[in-house]
Structure 1
Amino acid sequence: MPERTPEPPPAGACDAPARDAVLHAVSSAVLAVTRHLSVREVLQVIVRSASRLLDARYAALGVPDDQGAFAEFVAEGISEEQWEAIGPTPRQHGMLGAMLRDGDPVRLADIRRDPRFEWWPRAHPVLKDFLGVPIRDGDQVLGIIFLSNKRTPGGFTAADEDLLTMFAAHAAIAITNARLYERGRELTVIEERTRMAHELHDAVSQKLFSLRLTAQAAASLLKTDPGRAAREIDQVQRLAGEALAELRAVIVELRPAELDRHGLVETLRKHVHLLDRLHPVSARFAFDGDPSAARVDVTAEVTVLRVAQEALHNAVRHAEAAHVDVRLSRRDGALVLEVGDDGKGFDPDADPVKGLGLASMRDRAENARGSLEVVSAPGAGTTVRLVVPA
């Protein structure tokens, strides 16, 4: 099990030596968990610890990408419902953009009065006193960490700024270590997939070769020796079953790497938010429950992800939908995925609709011992509902 970060008392309740001791304990815990957690989980530990350390109601940490947005953005003090209402991850504008460009600490009594402040989404909590510092690795800014709305009266102090700057230095080490750990895992996955590709070539190719020869023998014996031909056909069925089992085993192992890094819930969330940013359709994701409770066997995770991706592709490319809602929940020992859109819909009982991948989705559900239901009608949108036993 990952080590839990100790929860330090608020910094306002400590003198300087005590706060230094708290910082040492927290940074040691952060460095320890990087051996076990993903980068995102390490970021969450850092934000939670900083919020507790400086007694801030809100805290956030953003890691920039190369497209003017944030590759990772985690926050403390904001519920899942608030995140859904706020919308997509912020871009590098306003104060966040200025901090990334300048790379300097910022401490303000009221961020709203600073000329670098621009705007917030309607559902965003109101921030007042503000403290932000860059997280540096040498000259490179890995990200920014900022706190707001200090619970202790008087706002953030110069001592708080020094403390958060020290904390950010330790956070940089934690983030770098976590990234190296994930890259090592990725290299291991690549090596394993290369090995499995060779195994697939050796094992399945031999079975398919035997299958072809046996089928040819059965065809040649149909007229002269029907009994022996029937036995050869039985052999064909057996070899085909073995080849199919080999292929399924390899496909399960070749599951998307992001499932290993982020888990099913976070992978789906990222995919939906990416579609929301890249397409005119408004895409939203919601998960009912603890993300760790959504972990199921490998086949089921891949099935849920692929069915969700196929359903989302249909909504974006074919349905002419304005809104798409993706819901994942845990009910009665099963994982339930629902992808609903308000598009033009279709008649599921009519002739098979080409290009929608319905047969593929049903096959995936059956292979995972689950069920798939598609509810749609012309002009009434479409809902895809997958139930996978957990």
Structure 2
Amino acid sequence: MTTGGTHPLIPSMRLDELLAELQSRLEAVLATRDRVHTLLEAVVLVGSDLQLETVLRRIVETATQLVDASYGALGVIGEENTLLEFIPVGLSEEEIARIEHWPHGLGLLGLLIKEPRPLRMSRISDHPESYGFPPGHPPMGSFLGVPLRLREEVFGNLYLTEKRGGADFDEEDEAVVIALATAAGVAIENARLYGETHRREIWLQASSEVTTSLLSGADVGDVLNQVARNVRDMADADVASILFPIDDGRALRVLISEGAESLLGTEIGIDGTLAGQAYRTGEPVTVRDLAATDYETFDSLPIGPATAVPLGAAGSIRGVLTFGKRPGRVPFAPSTVRMLHSFAGQAAIALELAEARRDAERLGLLEDRDRIAKDLHDVVIQRLFAVAMTLMSTIRLVDRPEGASRVQHAIDELDATIRQIRATIFALQGPLGPGGSGLRAQIVDLVEGTRGHLGFLPGLRLEGPLDNAVPEPVAEHLLAVLREALSNLVRHAKATRAQVTAEVGGGNITLTVEDNGVGLSPDGRRSGLRNLDDRADQLGGTFEAGPGALGGTLLRWSVPTG
């Protein structure tokens, strides 16, 4: 009875076990299916963007979700097997701020760089290669590391730590992350190719725009600003500046700056600076962190990755193009530096062509001015001189005094006209200073500047090669004397008429200022006249002040030009 009563329970127990096992396997299959589905969605998500920095962060975020890790990071491998960039996920801004520095690629992370194969363990600190964490870094236990490959190149490593729930990463976690890393390699390669293609497109367009602008006569300063903007865009930099040599190449000055206008006008030395080394060697210079080098830096502008590229080839360098990023950003890739070096070379050639074009235009203008001066001298003056000679011979034939006076007046007017034409000839033969800054133009500006104070415009006569025959030191003294004389005229003379004459001849330059005002003070001196006398003595010349033919004051200041 007992035996017979217990036999029916055995099949029932075995059936329950089989059903439980079947349910467990079905749940495993469903979990695997869901995980594969999630992995496929992750692969699609990772490859849906072509911005490299976005792709890298998305890879880390996706990996942490797939294996339920608390923390994740992606380390980009740079030169000499060090971590070029470190992208963390799972840390708050406060936690990141407490970390003294990011890992440099030593210890366990360095092992993955040296031996790029998957690595899984229960506790990081148990591994003999463990180097510890930087100060301020949160504690981490379980670990899973997988390399990211681009064909045969190891681009970087995925680091995943602290599986939620206190469990360890298992073989299935490792297989999922390896699968993700394989797809991520393709996404990274696509993003890199897209970025390089995009930069080349910008480069070609920028090169064309710069060359066209310069050769069409655009202002060089505007074009250089355009160059800096293009470089900042192509390199994805935070700041781009162009420096030009000063003091015979002993220093550099920032004349163009995009992203840091406070640097405009800043001067740096050739020695001990990143830009100075590029200028001296004629080769690009790149650093991962400018603050960590011995190069001088700008205190007001913290810069991490930085590059300096010469404008032109060695021996004919026109300036230096520099660009940099904020500390902590990805350093400039060698391909980017090469591209911008080429762009800078093209910009330098365009600058030379623009200067050659301006020189040709300047030469053509000088030739035209010389031709006009010769025509005035050889044709116009000779004809006027012939008319004057004819009138002079006619005076003797005029019986009435009124007629003779009128003919004499016509002769005087012709003489004055000839002198004015000769002055014009000298002006045409003078140098083409920027903005018309020759001595003749400066005298005209000073005289015309008194019109508003006097209520009338003084007469002006300029004779001789003022722009060519007067040395710069003498010209500076003459302008100072003219300013003082005009100032006295405005403040003291109470004149209604004045005449200014500057004449070069006989190895001297003579400045005469005459007016019809109240004349000199009773003691024969006026405030400031002693200074004019001192200037004449310094140059070995003379100065006179006294009554003039117009009834006022006559000042005559004459010094040697040689």
TM-score (structure 2 length as normaliser): 0.39
**Cα distance in 2 between the residues matched to 1:204 and 1:21:** 60
* Residue equivalent to 2:211: 31
- State the Cα deviation string for residues 46-88 of structure 1 (Å, max 9, x = none): 23322333343432323446822579963123898874xx57x
Contact 1:135-1:145 within 8 A present in 2 as well: yes
Q: CA deviation at 1:177?
A: 1.6
Q: 1:97 to 1:252 in 2, by over 3 A?
A: same
Q: Using the alignment, how far apart are the partners of 2:233 and 2:327 within structure 1?
A: 10
Which one of 205, 210, 215 corresponds to residue 381 of structure 2?
Answer: 205
What SS class does the counterpart of residue 242 from structure 2 fall into? strand
Instruction: Report what 1:15 is aligned to.
Output: 195
CA deviations over 1:131-151 (Å, ceiling 9, x no partner): 111223476433321123459
Contact 2:285 2:307 in 1 (8 A): yes
SS in 1 for 2:372: helix
Counterparts of residues 87-98 of structure 1 (less than 5 Å): 92-95=270-273, 96-98=275-277
198-207 or 63-72, larger mean C-alpha shift:
63-72
CA shift in 2, pair 1:93/1:316, >3 Å: farther
Which residue of the partner structure matches residue 317 of structure 2?
Answer: 141
TM-score (norm: length of structure 1): 0.54
1:68 is paired with a residue of what secondary structure? coil
Aligned to 2:70: none
> Where do residues 300-379 of structure 1 align in structure 2 (5 Å cutoff)?
349=491
Rounded Cα–Cα distance in structure 2 between residues aligned with 1:192 and 1:26:
36
Aligned to 1:154, the other structure's residue is in SS state coil
Q: 1:102 aligns with which of 271, 281, 284?
A: 281
Unaligned runs of 5+ in 1: 1-9, 272-298, 321-339, 341-345, 352-356, 361-376, 379-390
Structure 1 partner of 2:414: 239
Name 2:356's counterpart in structure 1.
180
Percentage of matched positions with identical amino acids: 20
Matched, 1:191 2:370: no
**2: distance between equivalents of 1:208 and 1:40?**
47
**Corresponding residue for residue 404 of structure 2:** 229
Shift of the 90–115 alpha-carbon distance from structure 1 to 2, 3 Å rule, reads closer
The structure number with the bigger radius of gyration is 2
Partner of 1:141, secondary structure, is: coil
Structure 1 pair 227–316 and aligned structure 2 pair: CA distance change class (3 A):
closer
Q: Name the amino acid aligned to 1:108.
A: V
**Cα pair 1:107 1:131 within 8 Å, conserved:** yes
Q: Give the alignment partner of residue 307 of structure 2, picking from 110, 131, 153.
A: 131
Matches within 5 A, 1:64-75: 64=245, 67-69=248-250, 74-75=255-256
The Cα offsets for residues 92-133 of structure 1, whole Å up to 9 and x where unpaired, read as 44423322222221122443443242x76xxx8525132111
- Tell me by how many angstroms 1:303 deviates: 5.4
SS at match of 2:332: coil
Please point out which of 168, 171, 187 is paired with 2:347.
171
Query: CA contact under 8 A between 1:256 and 1:302: conserved in structure 2?
Result: no
Structure 2 unpaired stretches of 5+:
1-50, 55-193, 450-466, 494-498, 503-526, 529-562
The aligned length equals 282
Corresponding position: 1:257 with 2:437: no
Query: Which structure is richer in relative contact order (CA contacts within 8 A, separation 6 or more)?
Result: 1
Pick the aligned partner of 2:243 from 59, 62, 65.
62
The one of 226, 229, 234 aligned to 1:48: 229
Shift of 1:179: 2.3
**Aligned equivalents of 2:52 and 2:207: distance in 1?**
15
Superposed CA RMSD in Å reads 5.2
Q: Following the alignment from structure 1 to structure 2, what is the Cα–Cα distance between the partners of residues 107 and 30?
A: 25
Deviation at 1:237, TM superposition (A): 5.1
Deviation at 1:180, TM superposition (A): 2.0
- SS of match in other structure, 1:15: helix
Contact persistence 2:242–2:257 (CA under 8 A): no
Find the aligned partners of 2:397 and 2:201 in 1 and give their Cα distance.
85
For residue 226 of structure 1, what is the amino acid of its counterpart? Answer: P
User: C-alpha distance in 2, partners of 1:194/1:305?
Assistant: 27
Aligned residue in 1 for 2:72: none
